[in-house]
Amino acid sequence: MAKILHLAFEHEWAAAKAAGAYRMSTRGVSLDDGATFIHASRPEQVGGTANRFYADVEEPLLLLVIDTERLVSALCDEDVDGRGTTFPHIYGPLNLDAVVDVLAYERGPDGRWPELAAQAVS
């Protein structure tokens, strides 16, 4: 079972559970706003993503642990910046039963979002 991660705010995850599907693409943008996919990361990419796009966020985040075999929407690995590094993208809503765990994600003692190893979500 392959697992990918999505960074989420607690209130967004609560809204998704109430609505029956998760529709946030990335920070502040949803599929309802015209985004075409939900951004995700492999475990070793999460720290870099969080430190780049959530550097100013003070509140703890959640890591939605997604079992890719349970996804209803299409999953594609894509090179977003032309540098040869691919990220997983979910093209459509995230079905809640594909989320197999929700982990608290907090800054480390140095003030940065921590790096994760693949084993952290296995």
Structure tokens belonging to residue 97:
């039963």
Residue 119: per-residue pLDDT: 61
Mean of pLDDT values over 97-103: 97
| Structural domain total, the chain | 1
Q: Tell me: pLDDT of 121 over 80.
A: no
Exposure of 83 in the CB half-sphere (CA atoms within 13 A): 4
pLDDT in tens, 13-22: 999 999 999 9
Check: CB of residue 105 under 8 Å from CB of residue 60. yes
pLDDT band at 1 (very low <50, low <70, confident <90, very high): low
Mean of pLDDT values over 40-63: 94
Q: How many CB atoms are closer than 10 A to CB 118?
A: 10
CA distance 12 to 17: 9
Supply the CATH number for residue 63's domain. 3.20.170.20
Q: Which domain holds residue 113?
A: 3-121
